[in-house]
Structure 1
Amino acid sequence: MTALWRAFRLIWSSSPWAMWRGAGAAVLVLAMGAGLLGLSGWFITATGLAGIAGIGIAFDVFRPSAGVRMLALGRAGARYAERLLTHDATLRALSKLRVALLKRLELWPIERLRHLRGAAALTRITADVDALDGLALRVALPILAGGITHLGAFAMLWWLTSLPVAAVIALGYGIGGWLVILRVGFAGFGPSARAEGHTQNLRRDVIGLFRGQRAVILQGRLPARITALTEEETALREAEAALDRIDRRAGLWMNLIVTFVAGAAMLVAGWQFQTGVFDAALAAIGIFVALALGETLMPLRRGMAELGRMHGAAQRIFGEEEQAPAQETRIAPRPVGGLEISDLQLMRPDGSRVLVEGLDLAVVPGEMVALRGASGIGKSTLLDAVARTGSHWRGQITLAGTELANWPEQEMRRVMTMVPQRAALVGGTVRENLALADPDLTDEAAWAALEAVHLAEVVRPRGGLEMVLSEGGGGLSGGEARRLVLARAILRKPAILLLDEPTEGLDDALAVNVLNGLRRALPTSAILAASHRQAELDAADRLVDLEKYIPDITY
């Protein structure tokens, strides 16, 4: 439960004053409910006794009735305030939780982030945050408000009636009520976790089917996929049905607990009345307050049943220990020269095989070196190693004579830029996408970068820098999106530029023009490119064939 506790602490600490206000309003609702029923019970009983005694005309009915009206109206107002304040507090907390989650993702290594897929990751994150919504509203606040209300009721009943009446009510709810609540939590843990898992699987599979329906139909897999979806939905319904059964049984047991506590209070109050400790009207207060306190248990039923879903969400968000960033070795500012690689060994990400061994390579400022070789030989892995985004390598890599590991992260990113195969664009304008490279971007610099990659003539008639792109750069073709990413790299003015298949999606003539424009825009940059097409190889000053560095394998 450590992850769940961490989630609760984050939610509560994100806006503690708002949480305490919400808890105060919840306590006020429960206290006024108990007070309303207790006062009403006393008023009805006292009025009846006064009538039987023949002194009804002398009985003051105005102040008790005013108290009943005040509590009734006050309870309605407190309920509104409780809904308003608790939801406000929860929304504040969830906004902080989303920020905390995104900050946590920043700590992930790039290798791990690359396995995220936008839609699936967003669906997962949204579902986890929604699940933790109930941690405050359905679990934490009701438990806190219920506990405070029971303590207050115990003190008031002890003062107004007697210790035995207050004690039997407190023990009845404290033992029986919490046993039922804990039982609900344990029984619902598995079904709620399964229901959440099936919900996410169903959502993911349906989205996948919609996106890939043409391929599924052509491969004749549509009936099988529909069958799998049906089975997933059936499993989801079974898990939800189990949760509903647990919820209904919990409601039954809670009603029995309320009945038992009220009955026990009646017996103790009757005994105290017979022994002359207090009169019948005061005896009624304990009975009706016992009934009213049942309201403190009912809101917890569904929240405790959903505890497994909340725990799973908290485990995904907080389950792994955050690794503190390693202390960076500061280096004195120096001119940044080229890139040097010595005795480099590259391995597959799973560590099962050595791809390249004994590679020595130098790229000087103003030079473009192209890496060539068959697919899977390690071109992208080499670029990841140089960019310090991959860990599956051994050897020495230096920038301007200083080992790569000794460069502080921010300084290294300032002098090095990488354009991977799956470079991303964001929803927004062309200007906003370019401004990711330079927050102080000017129109002149933006148009110069677009001219360099031959994209200005495409963008200008469609709104220019204010052309709006949808998510992922929608509105541009694959080749146009690729050129926009290259324009963004130009604006970084890097000393070292790493390119992974930079002209993918472009015809040969345009690829040559784009590469020439790129080199004119960055005349002093050392460029290392992973290439497979002839246009990229022709644009390079030097070629490095990685197949020469494939290690000999002896079987």
Structure 2
Amino acid sequence: MARVERAPLRRALALLDLERGAVVRSVLAGVATLGSALALAALSAWLIMRAWEMPPVLDLTVAVTAVRALGISRGLFRYLERLSTHDTALRGTTAARANLYRRLADGDPAAALGIRRGDLLARTGADVDELGDVVVRAVIPIAVAAVMAVLAVGGIALISPVVALILAVALVLSGVVAPWMSARAAQVADDAGVRSRAAYSDAATTALDHAAELRVAGRLGDAVALAGRAQAQATRDRDRGATWSALAAAATPLAIGASVIGALLVGLGLYGTDLSPTGSGAMSPMALGILVLLPLSAFEATAVLPDAARTLGRARGSARRILALLDDADRPRSVGHEPWDGHGTLEARGLRSGWPAGSETAGTAEPRTTDPLDLDVAPGSRIVLTGPSGAGKTTVLMTLAGLLPPVAGTLTAGGRDVATIVPDDMRRAVAFFAEDAHLFDTSVLENLRVVRGDVTTHEAREVLRRVGLADWVDALPDGLDTTISGARAVSGGQRRRLLLARALLSRAPILLLDEPTEHLDAADGADVLRRLLARDAGLVGPERAVVVVTHQLPPGTDADRVIEVRPAVAAHSAE
């Protein structure tokens, strides 16, 4: 993955399709927010020092009104900045997910199928959210801080170039050095800290779980000592990270203090020790007040940068995971060009199925395959695949669906090699429904429309009745429009029936069903399997072919053929 290592975050942020205008508006709103604070500090300093001179009250009226206006505008601009920034980030994450799904759908199917479901959901969910956080917590705050630093230093330079130089150095300490130390602390915690804690956990678990055997062998003391050394190393690594965190936390207060004290000393040096309104120094009291108070507001923009650095660090890891997935999906592969309308027989001869060597699902460096099998999935046929867990039944279904290339043997559809068929035609003709297919955080109806966007409410109710969920849907507060996640999570059995309903709504002439009755009780599961395999039961039309994977085939089914899948290598595969 050489491409992943080069500027991974920059490549991943391109998925957000950020509009330049929206980003600029967010930055301008942030600059207006902190600019109001900066102007408020300068005006307040002038007002305090001017009031010290006890002028007529009317001379202060405009300044008092301006202070109130700046205080109000600061909150208003902050609100607008939040709206603009979060709108930009949310639109970006939506675009990123759409781009991600599109490239996964158009790319190599093994890229998504070759990793664990939880990991896939994390990469398309939490990792994409991390990219959105970069916009809110890093990109825009960094841009705002840079603009405000220039404005603050430029404003101070009009009064005293020396104080401006002191402020510039202090802002570099707060806006560059402190974020770097914060990122360093996070890196130490993520790298050495995680490894040392894992080593300690492993050593301690070994000593606890195998204490009896170790005592007999006279090795218990060594095991306990090893756990102690691992714990000490974990503590040292944690302290290293805490040291960097403490330095980062102290950098900004130190920078503020240094800039204020430096400004005060320079101002006193120019003004002299006579602070009376009639003093003869070169600097006016108002200018001295501004020199002292303005730096306090100038650091408001840089105070959030350590958190921005940590956000960038987390986002780089998310970017690498996302790009690794996309690069796998985009890897060169032969794409079929021959059309297929779904008519004809899906034929396998000497077919051996398996995952590529070294893939996450394979789990080993050597590819693991199934024994050769021959089968004909003709229109209307009913075929059952059985076998022990880990035999490779799911892998066979994926190969039949064209999602995995055959390890050996031939696979043809309508007389054509599956590898030469247009992928979209293959997906329309052969539909694979995994046992762990995802239910989305949306309504029952929209979860059914995943397979076909034009599903009507009548069709949805009818298919739910056929799979035994009519009473359940009727009991939901909003019926088909009820959201089925969160507080209304479905049970394992309900989930299986929903996934089966989704499969039945597909128009594909060949259905490949992976464990459609798992988590159903024995009687209900047997009834569903019998109806799936019966041509006249009304569950699946007699013209459609069905291939079912199951561990428990009930007696009395109308299966045309029952095939036992055996692994060619005695190891567990991704079932």
TM-score range, shorter chain: 0.7 to 0.9
2:107 maps to which residue? none
* Residue among 359, 366, 374 paired with 1:352: 366
Displacement of 1:412: 3.1
2:453 maps to which residue? 439
1:332-343 correspondence runs (5 A):
332=339, 334-343=341-350
SS of corresponding position for 1:15: helix
Alpha carbons of structure 1 residues 168 and 3: separation in structure 2 relative to 1, 3 Å: farther
SS of corresponding position for 2:512: strand
Q: Is the 8 A contact 2:349 2:409 kept in 1?
A: yes
1:125-274 correspondence runs (5 A):
133-136=136-139, 138-154=141-157, 157=158, 165=160, 167-192=161-186, 243=245, 246-267=248-269
Could you tell me how far apart the structure 2 residues matched to 1:135 and 1:119 are?
A: 24
Amino acid at match of 2:505: L
In the alignment, structure 1 segments of 5+ residues that lack a partner are 49-58, 202-230, 272-277
Displacement of 1:255: 0.9
1:417 maps to which residue? 431
Displacement of 1:343: 4.4
* Residue among 86, 90, 93 paired with 1:91: 86
1:16 maps to which residue? 23
* 1:418-452 per-position Cα deviation (integer Å, ceiling 9, x unaligned): 22122333455543332333332234433442344
SS of corresponding position for 2:516: coil
Displacement of 1:251: 0.3
Could you tell me how far apart the structure 1 residues matched to 2:489 and 2:433 are?
A: 20
Displacement of 1:339: 1.6
Alpha carbons of structure 1 residues 301 and 446: separation in structure 2 relative to 1, 3 Å: closer
1:492 maps to which residue? 506
CA RMSD of aligned residues (A): 4.6
Displacement of 1:310: 0.6
Give the alignment's TM-score, normalised by structure 1. 0.73
Q: Is the 8 A contact 2:338 2:420 kept in 1?
A: yes
Could you tell me how far apart the structure 2 residues matched to 1:436 and 1:187 are?
A: 47
Stretch of structure 1 that moved more, 464-473 or 299-308: 464-473
Stretch of structure 1 that moved more, 118-127 or 414-423: 118-127
* Residue among 466, 477, 497 paired with 1:483: 497
Amino acid at match of 1:492: S
* Residue among 348, 358, 375 paired with 1:361: 375
Displacement of 1:494: 0.9
In the alignment, structure 2 segments of 5+ residues that lack a partner are 1-5, 105-110, 196-232, 274-278, 356-361
Could you tell me how far apart the structure 2 residues matched to 1:92 and 1:502 are?
A: 41
* 1:185-208 per-position Cα deviation (integer Å, ceiling 9, x unaligned): 22211334567899999xxxxxxx
Q: Is the 8 A contact 2:515 2:548 kept in 1?
A: yes
1:312-461 correspondence runs (5 A):
312-319=313-320, 321=323, 322-323=326-327, 325=330, 330-332=337-339, 334-348=341-355, 349=362, 350-390=364-404, 393-394=407-408, 396-427=410-441, 429-456=443-470, 459=473
Alpha carbons of structure 1 residues 130 and 27: separation in structure 2 relative to 1, 3 Å: closer
Q: Is the 8 A contact 1:431 1:466 kept in 2?
A: yes
1:228 maps to which residue? none
1:272-283 correspondence runs (5 A):
280=281, 283=284
Displacement of 1:471: 1.8
Amino acid at match of 2:368: V
Alpha carbons of structure 1 residues 311 and 533: separation in structure 2 relative to 1, 3 Å: same
2:529 maps to which residue? 511
Give the alignment's TM-score, normalised by structure 2. 0.71
Alpha carbons of structure 1 residues 406 and 254: separation in structure 2 relative to 1, 3 Å: farther
Could you tell me how far apart the structure 1 residues matched to 2:132 and 2:424 are?
A: 31
Q: Is the 8 A contact 2:85 2:136 kept in 1?
A: yes
SS of corresponding position for 1:306: helix
Q: Is the 8 A contact 1:346 1:356 kept in 2?
A: yes
Alpha carbons of structure 1 residues 24 and 333: separation in structure 2 relative to 1, 3 Å: same
Alpha carbons of structure 1 residues 451 and 470: separation in structure 2 relative to 1, 3 Å: closer
Q: Is the 8 A contact 1:150 1:293 kept in 2?
A: no
Q: Is the 8 A contact 2:189 2:241 kept in 1?
A: yes
Amino acid at match of 1:96: R
Q: Is the 8 A contact 1:7 1:314 kept in 2?
A: no
2:547 maps to which residue? 528
How many residues align? The count is 500
Amino acid at match of 2:564: D
Amino acid at match of 1:499: L
Displacement of 1:381: 1.0
Greater fraction helix:
1
